[in-house]
Amino acid sequence: MAAGTGAYGRRFDSGRVCLDLVATGAASGACERLDRPARLAEWLVASRLVPLGTPLTAVDETWVARFRQLRTGIDRLMSAQLAGGSADNALERVNTLAAAAPPGLRAVRGQGGALVRAPIADPVCGELLAAVARDAVDLLTDPVARAGLRRCEGDACRRLYLDTSRGRRRRWCSSEVCGNRERVARHRRRVKAAP
């Protein structure tokens, strides 16, 4: 899972949109990514919740607050899952959001005649929250996917990701970032310990 690029810039791709949302928070070891409406709108497009070119003029501070609340709930649920605990309040909140209808999409002809996704109507915050919450419900209720849920072992990283590697031995959210930091730190310890 490499970081994606686009209008949003470097973006962590965890393998699931609900985990990508969790990665936007400061608690994941990075800086706060959803700090204003424009950043949320960029994330919605980068995460493919809305097609590129979709007008997101309704995104405001209330949307940011609601997405951050959902992010906190998903983070608590996934952390509880990894620790073998429960987070019933968070589960109730995510289930409530997942019960709403997700945004309607249709296929339209794009440039060159290829079919592309387009929203049926302007996206509504509750619909987009429902799509992310449903992804979290799908992850938590799918035993195969749930078995691949991991937290990065990087020193300063708390990101969650799905380990889809062949041997299920992946240790870092990104081999290029956290894995490289660990290898450099290990090398420095060996050099320092050498006579």
Q: What is the pLDDT along the chain (195 residues), one digit of tens a residue?
A: 333 444 444 445 688 999 999 999 876 556 888 999 999 999 999 999 998 888 899 999 999 999 999 999 999 999 999 998 888 899 999 999 999 998 888 898 988 889 988 888 889 999 999 999 999 999 999 999 998 898 887 777 888 888 887 877 776 676 566 766 677 766 677 777 777
Q: The pTM is what?
A: 0.82
Cross-strand bridge partners of residue 161: 150
Helix (H) or strand (E) holding 185: helix 180-193
